[in-house]
C-alpha cells in the first residue's frame, strides 16, 4: 500500500537506497536508487543522503533526488547540517575517506566542494563522523581514523582532542554532553570536544559504530550488538549478536527503538530493549532517523 | 598478393601503408566478432552495424540498464555517436533514458570514473536541450563537472603519469573513452587533449609491447599474471601493432570494439617503436603514488618502473612506493620475466601472498571488521595462499637490464610467512650450486631462490581453460629472496657456458638478512647491490629513482611535470604538448585503482 510521504513524521532508513515508514514497520523505497546510504539528515522540507557515490538531496512526493556532490566529493560517510545557512551555502558539511569538505553553490545549480584536509595525516583525513558543536556554532567535531579532531572554521585550523589513536566511528550530542563511539575503545563523553572521559563502563574495548539518544539514556551499536546505558554507569547488552551500524530511538519515552546491522537487517524493540524482532527486507542498514519531535 | 592484415610493419613503412594495414585488421576483427556472435553487447554492437547485422537486436540490449554503472553508461552513448541514424529509435531512446532518468553509479576506480564522465559528457553535449539530467541538475552542470574531471585527469596523467597504470585488464577501458572523446566531443579543446591522451596511452603500451604481451609491472593485472597475452588489450595490440597471427578468440575483445570501429589511426611510428626489438634497451616510467585511504603513517610515494626489452624476453620491475603494511593493492603485479610462448609457458614471477582485512579497508571506506569478508566472498582468489599477484608491503627489488634481485622481509607473525615462485612446466630445469637454470631456446635463464624451498605444482581451474598451471616453488622463509638473470643465447655462448658463468659469478648473501644487504654480479660483470629499506646501487653508483622521467626509452623524451613528450623513430617524430599550466593546482585525486 502506498502512503502519502511526510518526511518529518516518517522513520527513515539508509540501506541500499533510502526507505521510509510512517510507523516503523512497513517500509517503502524513496525512489528507485539502490545506492549504499551511509548517513542521513533531515532539514526543512528535504532529506540529505550521504552515499557511496556522493551526496544527494531528496524532497517532494514522489521523492525527487538531486545531486549535491561534485567531482571531488565521493565515498561520503557522514554529514551534518550547517546551522546558519549563508548565501550560496548548501546547508551541509560532509566527511569522507578524503576528509571534511564544505560546499558552495556554483553555476547551473551545482554545488562545488572544498576539502579541508591540509596538514592532516591519512588517518586524520579519513573521517567517519561529523558533528556541529552545539555551543560553538561554526566549529566541527570530526570522527577520524585517528580519533576525534576539531575543525575551527574561522581559523581554518585543525585541533587534536585528547581522544586520539583509535578510529572514531560515531559522534552524538545528547543530554548536554558530546559522545564519541570508538573502534575498540568504547564510548566516551566530553563537555567541550577536546577533553574526554569514559562514558560508562563494561564496554571499554568494544568497537562502537553508532550512537543514539533515548529519552533518558543512550543506545550504542557495537560489533557484538546493541548496548544500552546512561553514559555513566554500566552498559548492558541487548538483542541479537550483530555488527550494529545504526541505532535510533523514537522521541517518545515509550516509543520504539530501531537498530540496523551490517549485515543482519533492521531490528525493532517496543519494550526498551527487552526483546527485538527483525523487520523489513533489509540486508545492511547503516543509518536510521526517527520521526521528528512534534512541538 | 600479400595479406594486408599480416604484412610486417617495417621501418620504412609510410603512414598510408600502415593505416591500410590497420583498416584491414579492423575489418577482420569486426567481421570475426560478428561471425562469432560476439556483437551482442553495447560495447561490441559496432561489429553488427559494421557488418550489416540486424540493428534491431540493439533494442533488447539497451533495455536492461535500470541502474547503469560505468560499463553501461559509456558504450551506449558511443554507439549513438558512432552510428547515428543507424541506431533504431527505440534503442536510442533506451540509451537516452540512462542519462535522463536512470540511477547511474560512478564507481570508485579511475577507469570507472573515466567511463562515467566521458559517457555523461557526450550525453550532455548530445542533448543540451534537456532541462534536467538523470542527477536532477541542469544538463550544463553535468557537462561542466565532467569536463573539469576529464581535463584535470589528463593534466595529472601528462605531468605525473597514468594512475591506473599499464593494466592488462583496464588499459583498454582508458584508451577507448579517450578515443571516443577525441572523435565525438563537441568541445574542440577537449577533442585535442583527448587525442593527445590516446597517443600517450598508446605510446605507454608500445614501449613495453612484446609479441602480444604487455611486459613489465602492472598497476592492475590480477589472477592472470602467468598468462602471456592477457585481457582486452590483446585486441588493441593486434589492431595497432599487428605482429601476431590472428586469433579471433583472443583478439575479438568486447571492450575494444569501440576502438576497432573508430576512424582514429595512430602514426605508424608508434607501431614501429612497439615492434623494434633489434637492440635491447631499457624503458623507464614514472607513475603517480597509490591512493591509500588510511591505516598507514605516510602517503605512498611515486611508482618507478624499469623494463628491459631484449630481443627474446622482457624483464620488468617496479619500485611501488608503498608506505608499508597494510597498504598493498590487490591487483598489482610488481615484476615478471616474459617471453614468447603459450599461456603459463612463458612467465616467471614470485610473490608474497600478503593477507589482511586492513589491506582492503586501506583502499575502501567499509568497516575493517567487514570488508575482508565482503571482498573475499566475492573474490576468493584474493585470499588464497598460492596467490602469485597482488602487492606485498614486505617486498623490495632492484633490476639492472636482465638481472633482478627480489627480497622479502616478512614479519614472523604474518599469515603467509613464505613466498611463491611460478615456473613454467614446459621448460627443462637443471640445478647447480643452488641455481635453477634453463635453456629457453633463444635465451637462457638462471634463478637463485634465497631460502629453503619445496617444489610443488599449481593448478587452478578458471574460465578460458585454467587460471594457472605450472610449478610452484614455495620458499619457506620470512627472509626469502629471488635472484634471476636472463641472457640472450648469443651473448652467453652455449648453455653449459652460461651455467658455468652464472653459478660462479659473484653472489654475496652473507649480509642477508642480518645486515639487510645482497649483492650479485650480472654475467656482463655489472654489480647490483641492494640494501632492504636502503640504497640501490649499480656498480657502486646509487640509483636516483626520483630522477626518472615520465617516460624514457630510445627516441623518447618526456620529462616529468612538463606535460610534454616527444617520440622519434627512424626520422619520424610525434610531439605531444598538453599545454599544462604549472601553477594550476592538480585535480584532487578521488579514485583508487
Q: Is A144 helix (H, G, I), strand (E, B) or coil?
A: strand
Q: Do A53 and B105 touch (CB under 8 A)?
A: yes
The mean pLDDT of A193-211, rounded to a whole number, is 98
Q: Do A74 and B299 touch (CB under 8 A)?
A: no
If one counts the domains in chain B, the total is 2
**Residues on A contacting B at a C-beta cutoff of 8 Å:** 31-35, 38, 52-54, 57, 64-67, 70-75, 77, 96-98, 107-110, 115, 121-123, 125-126, 145, 169, 183, 207, 209, 223, 243, 245, 262-263
Residues B175 and B67 both lie in one domain:
yes
Residues B536 and B395 both lie in one domain:
yes
Q: Do A109 and B135 touch (CB under 8 A)?
A: no
Q: Do A71 and B296 touch (CB under 8 A)?
A: no
Per-state percent for chain A, helix, strand, coil, to nearest 5: 0, 50, 45
Residues B261 and B325 both lie in one domain:
no
Q: Which residue of A59, A64, A97, A182 to mutate against B (max B Cβ within 10 Å)?
A: A97
Chain A residues in contact with B67 by the CB 8 A cut-off are 32-34
Give the model's confidence band at A45: pLDDT under 50 very low, under 70 low, under 90 confident, else very high: confident
Interface confidence, given as ipTM, is: 0.96
In order along its 593 residues, chain B shows pLDDT tens digits of 345 555 555 667 889 999 999 999 999 999 999 999 999 999 999 999 999 999 999 999 998 866 789 999 999 999 999 999 999 999 999 999 999 998 899 999 999 999 999 999 999 999 999 999 999 999 999 999 999 999 999 999 999 999 999 999 999 999 999 999 999 999 999 999 999 999 999 999 999 999 999 999 999 998 899 999 999 999 999 999 999 999 999 999 999 999 999 999 999 999 999 999 899 999 999 999 999 999 999 999 999 999 999 999 999 999 999 999 999 999 999 999 999 999 999 999 999 999 998 999 999 999 999 999 999 898 888 999 999 999 999 999 999 999 999 999 999 999 999 999 999 999 999 999 999 999 999 999 999 999 999 999 999 887 767 789 999 999 999 999 999 999 999 999 999 999 999 999 999 999 999 999 999 999 999 999 999 999 999 999 999 999 999 999 999 999 999 999 999 999 999 999 999 998 899 999 999 98
**Residues on B contacting A at a C-beta cutoff of 8 Å:** 66-67, 103, 105-108, 117, 135-138, 140-141, 144-146, 148-149, 152, 292-299, 365, 367-370, 587-588, 590
Chain A residues in contact with B103 by the CB 8 A cut-off are 31-35
Last residue of a domain, one of B266, B294, B310: B266
Pairwise CA distance, residues A167 & B446, whole Å: 48
Residues B394 and B319 both lie in one domain:
yes
Pairwise CA distance, residues A9 & A23, whole Å: 9
Per-residue pLDDT tens digits for A127-155: 999 999 988 888 999 999 999 999 998 89
Range of the domain at B439: 281-553
Q: What is the pLDDT of residue B66?
A: 65
Q: Do A34 and B103 touch (CB under 8 A)?
A: yes
Q: Is B542 helix (H, G, I), strand (E, B) or coil?
A: strand
Residue B208 has φ and ψ, to the nearest 5°, of -120, 25
Q: What is the pLDDT of residue A136?
A: 83
CA distance A110 to chain B (A): 6
Residues B335 and B387 both lie in one domain:
yes
Bridge partners, residue A105, by sequence: A111
Query: Exposed, middle or buried: residue B61 (CB in 10 Å: 0-12, 13-18, 19+)?
Result: buried
Q: What is the pLDDT of residue B376?
A: 87
- Grid cell locating B450: 634465497
Q: Do A53 and B293 touch (CB under 8 A)?
A: no
Q: What is the pLDDT of residue B498?
A: 98
Domain boundaries, chain A: 200-295
Last residue of a domain, one of B233, B266, B299: B266
Q: Give yes or no for residue A85 having a pLDDT over 60.
A: no
Residue B308 falls within a domain, yes or no? Answer: yes
Q: What is the pLDDT of residue A3?
A: 57
Least Cα distance to A70 among A48, A87, A52, A54 occurs for: A54
Q: Do B106 and A53 touch (CB under 8 A)?
A: yes
Residues B199 and B85 both lie in one domain:
yes
* DSSP tag of A292: P
Q: Do B136 and A32 touch (CB under 8 A)?
A: no
Q: What is the pLDDT of residue A2?
A: 52
Residue B114 has φ and ψ, to the nearest 5°, of -65, -45
Give the model's confidence band at A1: pLDDT under 50 very low, under 70 low, under 90 confident, else very high: very low
Residues B262 and B318 both lie in one domain:
no
Residues B205 and B74 both lie in one domain:
yes
Residue B562 falls within a domain, yes or no? Answer: no
Q: How does B87-97 read in b/e, with b if 16+ C-beta sit within 10 Å?
A: bbeebbebbbb
Last residue of a domain, one of B201, B234, B266: B266
Chain A residues in contact with B136 by the CB 8 A cut-off are 57, 64-67
Q: Which residue of A48, A122, A243 to mutate against B (max B Cβ within 10 Å)?
A: A122
Least Cα distance to A118 among A97, A137, A144, A100 occurs for: A100
Q: What is the pLDDT of residue B580?
A: 95
Query: Exposed, middle or buried: residue B263 (CB in 10 Å: 0-12, 13-18, 19+)?
Result: exposed
Residue B579 falls within a domain, yes or no? Answer: no
Residues B308 and B258 both lie in one domain:
no
Residues B524 and B442 both lie in one domain:
yes
Q: What is the pLDDT of residue B68?
A: 85
Pairwise CA distance, residues B421 & B193, whole Å: 42
Amino acid at each position: 500500500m502506498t502512503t502519502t510521504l511526510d518526511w518529518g513524521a516518517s522513520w527513515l532508513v539508509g540501506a541500499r537506497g533510502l526507505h521510509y515508514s510512517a510507523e516503523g514497520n512497513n517500509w517503502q523505497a524513496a525512489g528507485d536508487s539502490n545506492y549504499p546510504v551511509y548517513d542521513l539528515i533531515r532539514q526543512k522540507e528535504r532529506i540529505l543522503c550521504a552515499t557511496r557515490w556522493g551526496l544527494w538531496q531528496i524532497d517532494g512526493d514522489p521523492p525527487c533526488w538531486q545531486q549535491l556532490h561534485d567531482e571531488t566529493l565521493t565515498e561520503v560517510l557522514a554529514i551534518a547540517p550547517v546551522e546558519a545557512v549563508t548565501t550560496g551555502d548548501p546547508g551541509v558539511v560532509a566527511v569522507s575517506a578524503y576528509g571534511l569538505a564544505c560546499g558552495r553553490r556554483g553555476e547551473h545549480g551545482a554545488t562545488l566542494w572544498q576539502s579541508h584536509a591540509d596538514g592532516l595525516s591519512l588517518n586524520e583525513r579519513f573521517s567517519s563522523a561529523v558533528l556541529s558543536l552545539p555551543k560553538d556554532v561554526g566549529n566541527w567535531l570530526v570522527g577520524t581514523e585517528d580519533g576525534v579532531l576539531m575543525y575551527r572554521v574561522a581559523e581554518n585550523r585543525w585541533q587534536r582532542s585528547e581522544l586520539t589513536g583509535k578510529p572514531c566511528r560515531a559522534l552524538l550530542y545528547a543530554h548536554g554532553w558530546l559522545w564519541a563511539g570508538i573502534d575498540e575503545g568504547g564510548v566516551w563523553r566530553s563537555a567541550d570536544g577536546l577533553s574526554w572521559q569514559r562514558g560508562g563502563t563494561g564496554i571499554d574495548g568494544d568497537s562502537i559504530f553508532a550512537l543514539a539518544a533515548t529519552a533518558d539514556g543512550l543506545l550504542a551499536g557495537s560489533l557484538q550488538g546493541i548496548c544500552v546505558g546512561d553514559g555513566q554507569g554500566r552498559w548492558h547488552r541487548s538483542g541479537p549478536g550483530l555488527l550494529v551500524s545504526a541505532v535510533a530511538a523514537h522521541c517518545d519515552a515509550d516509543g520504539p527503538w530501531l537498530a540496523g546491522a551490517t549485515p543482519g537487517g533492521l531490528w525493532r524493540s517496543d519494550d526498551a530493549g527487552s526483546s527485538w524482532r527483525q523487520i523489513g527486507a533489509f540486508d545492511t542498514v547503516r543509518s536510521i532517523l526517527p520521526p521528528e519531535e512534534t512541538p | 598478393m600479400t595479406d594486408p592484415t599480416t604484412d610486417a610493419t617495417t621501418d620504412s613503412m609510410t603512414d598510408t601503408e600502415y593505416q591500410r594495414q590497420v583498416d584491414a585488421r579492423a575489418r577482420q576483427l569486426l567481421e570475426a566478432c560478428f561471425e562469432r556472435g560476439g556483437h551482442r553487447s553495447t560495447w561490441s554492437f559496432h561489429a553488427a552495424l559494421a557488418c550489416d547485422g540486424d540493428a534491431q537486436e540493439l533494442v533488447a540490449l539497451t533495455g536492461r540498464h535500470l541502474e547503469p554503472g560505468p560499463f553501461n553508461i559509456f558504450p551506449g552513448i558511443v554507439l549513438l555517436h558512432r552510428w547515428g541514424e543507424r541506431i533504431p529509435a527505440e534503442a536510442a531512446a533506451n540509451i537516452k533514458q540512462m542519462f535522463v532518468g536512470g540511477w547511474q553509479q560512478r564507481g570508485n576506480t579511475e577507469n570507472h570514473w573515466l567511463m562515467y564522465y566521458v559517457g555523461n559528457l557526450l550525453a550532455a553535449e548530445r542533448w543540451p536541450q534537456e532541462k534536467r539530467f538523470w542527477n536532477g541538475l541542469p544538463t550544463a552542470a553535468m557537462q561542466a563537472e565532467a569536463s573539469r574531471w576529464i581535463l584535470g585527469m589528463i593534466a595529472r596523467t601528462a605531468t605525473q603519469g597514468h594512475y591506473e597504470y599499464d593494466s592488462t585488464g583496464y588499459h583498454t577501458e582508458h584508451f577507448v573513452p579517450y578515443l571516443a572523446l577525441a572523435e565525438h566531443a563537441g568541445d574542440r579543446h577537449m577533442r585535442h587533449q583527448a587525442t593527445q591522451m590516446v597517443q600517450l596511452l598508446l605510446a605507454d603500451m608500445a614501449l613495453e609491447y612484446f609479441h602480444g604481451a604487455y611486459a613489465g609491472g602492472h598497476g592492475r593485472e590480477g589472477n592472470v599474471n602467468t598468462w602471456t597475452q592477457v585481457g582486452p588489450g590483446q585486441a588493441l595490440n593486434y589492431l595497432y601493432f599487428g605482429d601476431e597471427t590472428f586469433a579471433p578468440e583472443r583478439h575479438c575483445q568486447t571492450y575494444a570494439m569501440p576502438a576497432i570501429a573508430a576512424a582514429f589511426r595512430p602514426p605508424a611510428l608508434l607501431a614501429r617503436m612497439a615492434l623494434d626489438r633489434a637492440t635491447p634497451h631499457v624503458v623507464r616510467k614514472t607513475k603517480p603514488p597509490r591512493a591509500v585511504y588510511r591505516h598507514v603513517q605516510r602517503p605512498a610515494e611515486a611508482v618507478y618502473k624499469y623494463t628491459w626489452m631484449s630481443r627474446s624476453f622482457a624483464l620488468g620491475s617496479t619500485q611501488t612506493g608503498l608506505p608499508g603494511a597494510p597498504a598493498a593493492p590487490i591487483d598489482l603485479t610488481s615484476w615478471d620475466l616474459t617471453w614468447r610462448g603459450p599461456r603459463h609457458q612463458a612467465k616467471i614471477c614470485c610473490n608474497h601472498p600478503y593477507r589482511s582485512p586492513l589491506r582492503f579497508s586501506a583502499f575502501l571506506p567499509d568497516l575493517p571488521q567487514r570488508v575482508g569478508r565482503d571482498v573475499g566472498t566475492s573474490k576468493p582468489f584474493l585470499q588464497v595462499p598460492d596467490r602469485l599477484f597482488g602487492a606485498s608491503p614486505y617486498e623490495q627489488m632492484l633490476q639492472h637490464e636482465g638481472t633482478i634481485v627480489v627480497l622479502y622481509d616478512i614479519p614472523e607473525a604474518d599469515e603467509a610467512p613464505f613466498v611463491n615462485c611460478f615456473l613454467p612446466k614446459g621448460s627443462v630445469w637443471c640445478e647447480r650450486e643452488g641455481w635453477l637454470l634453463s635453456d629457453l631456446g633463444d635465451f637462457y635463464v638462471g634463478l637463485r631462490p634465497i631460502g629453503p624451498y619445496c617444489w610443488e605444482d599449481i593448478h587452478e581451474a578458471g574460465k578460458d581453460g585454467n587460471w594457472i598451471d605450472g610449478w610452484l616453488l614455495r620458499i619457506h622463509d620470512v627472509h626469502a629472496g629471488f635472484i634471476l638473470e636472463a641472457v640472450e643465447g648469443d651473448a652467453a655462448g652455449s648453455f653449459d657456458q652460461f651455467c658455468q658463468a652464472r653459478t660462479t659469478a659473484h653472489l654475496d648473501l652473507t649480509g642477508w638478512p642480518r645486515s639487510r644487504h645482497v649483492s650479485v654480479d650480472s654475467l656482463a660483470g655489472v654489480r647490483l647491490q641492494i640494501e632492504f629499506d636502503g640504497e640501490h646501487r649499480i656498480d657502486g653508483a646509487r640509483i636516483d629513482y626520483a630522477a626518472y622521467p615520465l617516460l624514457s626509452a630510445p627516441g623518447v623524451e618526456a620529462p616529468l611535470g612538463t606535460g610534454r613528450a616527444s617520440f622519434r623513430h627512424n626520422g619520424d617524430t610525434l610531439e605531444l604538448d598538453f599545454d599544462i599550466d604549472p601553477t594550476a593546482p592538480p585535480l584532487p585525486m578521488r579514485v583508487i585503482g
